[in-house]
Amino acid sequence: MSPVIALLRAANVGGRTIKAAQLRAAAEGLGHTEVTTYVNSGNIVLVPHGPASSVGPGLSDALSAELGFDVPVLTRTLPQWDLIVSRVPFTDEVSSDPSHLVLYCWDGTPKETSFDPTPYGHERVAFAGDETYAYYPDGIGRSKLTLPVLEKATGRSGTARNWNTVLALQRLARERA
């Protein structure tokens, strides 16, 4: 069975603390195997017990019940993740400046993809399916192009990961394939 990469939305921000051990225990409690987390910011890779499509809802329900707050979980299979990595449009930046490249994963295909990032600075944005790639040449931390701005523009809910994390999650998933 293909490994699944699960991304928690808004984990460990705004008082919504989720420890990696809790995340692993929830996944293992659902019968998933080869469970590992990556940095304590809501990243988990596992081999699913049952259909891959049930991983996100199952983890969300289990964590929400345990923690007492909503825990949205977005998932991608390893083949989907490999496609995400292969179609990155900012190929020069992947090599020269990966720490300023961000992947946004959405809970579905954005309704609007003609978003113009120029009012926010020098950022560049590219849409591809259920993901958006953004390059922040002047840094991410001070940018006005934030997840809430992109959520409003796309009409979707999502979560973001920097490119180094994207590649680390791919490596962990391939180790489980």
pLDDT in tens, 82-107: 999 999 999 999 999 999 999 999 99
What pLDDT does 90 receive? 97
What is the per-residue pLDDT for 2? 93
Res 12 pLDDT > 70 = no
Evaluated on CA atoms 153, 105, 147, 70, the torsion sign reads positive
Q: Does the predicted model carry a pTM greater than 0.85?
A: yes
**Structural contact between residues 46 and 55, judged by C-beta atoms closer than 8 angstroms:** yes
CB 111: neighbour CB atoms within 10 A? 10
In the chain, % of residues over pLDDT 90: 85
Model confidence at 28, pLDDT cuts 50, 70, 90, reads very high
pLDDT averaged over every residue in the chain: 94
Distance CA 10, CA 117 (A): 23
| Structure tokens that stand for 111 in this block | 């309704």
